[in-house]
Amino acid sequence: MPARIPGITAPLPGLPTAHDVATLSVPLPGVVHDPAYAEREWGDGTHPPLYVPVVERQDEVLTTAVEDGLVAWAADCGFVGEELDMLRAAGFGRLAVLTHTDSDDPQHLLIAAKLNAAWWAADDLYADSSELGATPTELPPRLALAMAAMDPLPDAGEFTGPLDEALAAEPVLVALRTGIDHLARYGTPAQVQRVNFSTFAMFVSWNAYAAWRHTGEYPPAWKYLATRQHDTFSTSMTVIDPVGGYEVPANLYYDPRVRRAAFQAGTASVLVNDLLSVAKDAADENPVVNMVLQIAADRQCPIAEATETVVHLHNRFVRDFEAGHRELLAVPSPELQRFLRGLRSWMGGGFEWHNTNPRYRV
């Protein structure tokens, strides 16, 4: 079934817009409310609230320090002029400060800021934004080079020179390479490869989106969600422990219960992104796949109704994460407990960043 609403060529009235809102808390009947969570209004306030962890930190001085370091790095990567202005306006340094609340070291926070900026740049310029040059047919080979930038290949004699030239010629590829280099200065080889492999799984999803946009055969919502769960903020969350200066042992990090918690947190956070991106995604000349738009097309229902469905799905993911977190409190690992709190903090800070970011205002 086609997964875009016929005739959508511009932002629609009544879609979410981002602005600061007050926090309010509504506990479930018969359940002791955890003060670490609250219901938050979002967008224009006309849709049901989102159940999210509370924001743990807002620090403008620290944010400025991280943003300054991020813009200087981006200039070294080859971004110039308006690109640097757009980068600062996007606020990836602020995202790092809001989401990684157990570190106040700018260099550690720059691990998250640099990698998120690089991922977003690749997403916009290679995958999503037609006006910025994203082309579905060019995406797979671009991502193949992105993987080579992040995970260096062994020397191949005469064939290595052209590769190195290509990797140095694209600011996005330089950003991915140097973002990983920055992580490697503070993290372990296992943490570096964890980030790489999560990113490469995310790239597989990007290729699926590109195929759907190229053929016009958009997926039903269930297939999009299955693909989206490997393209969520769980990739951003892979750096929680290196930013914090510790490491979750691999057999705990990949324990099915912990893996499920990371997917729940990452998917909930990316549904916030979908909710606040509906107008932008629908307005692209090649409409971007988006959970709200997929549901609206599947059910032939209004955007408002599809939005409510996605809100309820988001809240279910967060409440399931909350319940799983309580069960995992019995595991006697300080590193795991810190990481689980980091997942919770990321959801809360990620919501705040999206809901107050000019990128998502329409």
pLDDT in tens, 306-344: 999 999 999 999 999 999 999 999 999 999 999 999 999
Task: Please give the pLDDT value at position 78.
Answer: 96
27 has pLDDT over 60? no
16 has pLDDT over 50? no
Task: Give the phi and the psi of residue 37 in degrees, each rounded to 5.
Answer: -125, 155
208 has pLDDT over 90? yes
pLDDT band at 270 (very low <50, low <70, confident <90, very high): very high
Higher pLDDT, 6 or 204: 204
Rounded mean pLDDT, 67-85 = 95
12 has pLDDT over 90? no
pLDDT band at 14 (very low <50, low <70, confident <90, very high): very low
CA pair distance 173, 264, nearest whole angstrom: 29
Query: Nearest Cα to 286, choosing from 211, 222, 226?
Result: 211
Rounded mean pLDDT, 48-73 = 97
Whether 271 and 291 have beta carbons less than 8 Å apart is answered as: yes
pLDDT band at 288 (very low <50, low <70, confident <90, very high): confident
Whether 199 and 235 have beta carbons less than 8 Å apart is answered as: yes
Whether 297 and 5 have beta carbons less than 8 Å apart is answered as: yes
Task: Please give the pLDDT value at position 213.
Answer: 86
pLDDT band at 31 (very low <50, low <70, confident <90, very high): low
Give the CA count within 13 Å in the CB-facing half-sphere of 1: 15
Contacts of 5 (CB under 8 A, 6+ apart): 282, 293, 296, 297, 303
64 has pLDDT over 70? yes
Rounded mean pLDDT, 217-226 = 94
Mean pLDDT, rounded, of the chain: 89
Q: Is 352 helix (H, G, I), strand (E, B) or coil?
A: helix
pLDDT band at 134 (very low <50, low <70, confident <90, very high): low
Query: Nearest Cα to 356, choosing from 94, 81, 51, 66?
Result: 94
In order, the DSSP letters of 290-336 are: -HHHHHHHHHT--HHHHHHHHHHHHHHHHHHHHHHHHHHTTS--HHH
6 has pLDDT over 60? no
- Quickly count: other Cβ atoms within 10 Å of residue 200's Cβ: 15
Task: Please give the pLDDT value at position 286.
Answer: 75
pLDDT band at 170 (very low <50, low <70, confident <90, very high): very high
pLDDT band at 137 (very low <50, low <70, confident <90, very high): confident
Residue ranges covered by each domain of the chain? 36-360
Rounded mean pLDDT, 274-278 = 93
Lowest mean pLDDT among 98-102, 130-134, 194-198, 318-322: 130-134
Task: Please give the pLDDT value at position 24.
Answer: 31
229 has pLDDT over 80? yes
- The answer to whether the predicted template modeling score (pTM) of the entire model surpasses 0.85 is yes
CATH number (1.10.600.10, 3.20.20.70, 3.40.50.1110, 1.10.10.520) of 36-360 reads 1.10.600.10
Task: Please give the pLDDT value at position 128.
Answer: 67
Higher pLDDT, 16 or 46: 46
Task: Please give the pLDDT value at position 3.
Answer: 35
CA pair distance 139, 202, nearest whole angstrom: 13
Chain center to CA of 89: 17
CA pair distance 22, 26, nearest whole angstrom: 13
